[in-house]
Amino acid sequence: MQKRDFIQQAAIEFLPQLEWDLDKALAYAEKLWKRLDQRGYGDARQTGPRDIPKAYDQLSKQPVMKAAFDLFWAAFDYKAGKDRAAARWLQMGPLEKAIYDKIVKAAKQAAIDRKNLPEGQSPKMAEGWLTERRWQDMDETAVEQGQKQQDQKARQIWQINQDLAHAKKMAEQTGDAYWHGEAEKLTNQLRQLRSPT
């Protein structure tokens, strides 16, 4: 609590006992603050990212965290508030590599999305992005993961079909056993990909 807030609150509490004499209530509140301060109860420091002086420099003491932060900072690509973002990073504490990788991947996507912000909308700074744990917004749902796998399988099938068409054409033109073998191998790959299991 800040001194001003303490004095106000204490004075309000003292007013009824001091017959609503505001000057006396303030004097008592100030004396109480002074006595508490003398006994070590002074201003309570708020903790937050702004309270970590030279936060980026402090990351040097933890090389893994610093390396991960540097990757994040480069991926996020919004060069404002680096020290405050580093302070937030320090507050998150050491994380597993998989989580750092996830954060960096999401930061890259955030940088892309930032380029398409509607006019008049302010971009989120790195400190706020980390505070709000925005990388978790990028988690894929089971449906999205399933769709991604289907898309990948469709691309594989398309590529094999292209290769198969080429192998058949070369087998027809050259009569070479190699191309007949390639066509057969690619046909088997297609069967495996298209099978339901």
What percentage of the chain has pLDDT greater than the value 70? 90
Return the top range by mean pLDDT from 92-96, 102-106, 129-133: 102-106
Map tokens 């594989």 to a residue: 156
What pLDDT, on a 0 to 100 scale, did the predictor assign at position 3?
A: 78
Domain boundaries, the chain: 3-38, 50-138, 142-194
Write the pLDDT tens digit of every residue in 39-80: 777 655 544 445 677 888 888 888 898 999 999 999 998 888
CA distance readout (Å), 111 to 4, 14, 76, 106, 115: 42, 55, 5, 9, 7
Helix ranges (H only) for the chain are 3-14, 22-38, 55-58, 63-76, 82-92, 97-114, 126-131, 142-174, 177-194
CA–CA gap between residue 38 and residue 128 (Å, rounded): 37
Long-range contacts of the stretch 20-29 (C-beta < 8 A, 24+)? none
CA angle 32, 37, 43 (to 5 degrees): 105
Residue 83 pLDDT exceeds 80: yes
CB 179 within 8 A of CB 170: yes
Q: Which residues contact 143 (CB under 8 A, 6 or more apart)?
A: none
Look at residue 165 in the predicted model and tell me its pLDDT: 94
Q: What pTM value is reported for the model? A: 0.48
Residue range 108-146, pLDDT digits in tens: 988 888 887 777 777 888 888 888 888 888 766 566 667
Q: How many residues does the chain have?
A: 197
| Radius of gyration in angstroms for the set of CA atoms belonging to the chain, rounded to a whole number | 32
Number of neighbouring beta carbons within 10 Å of residue 168: 16
When pLDDT is averaged across residues 29-36 and rounded to a whole number, the result is: 84
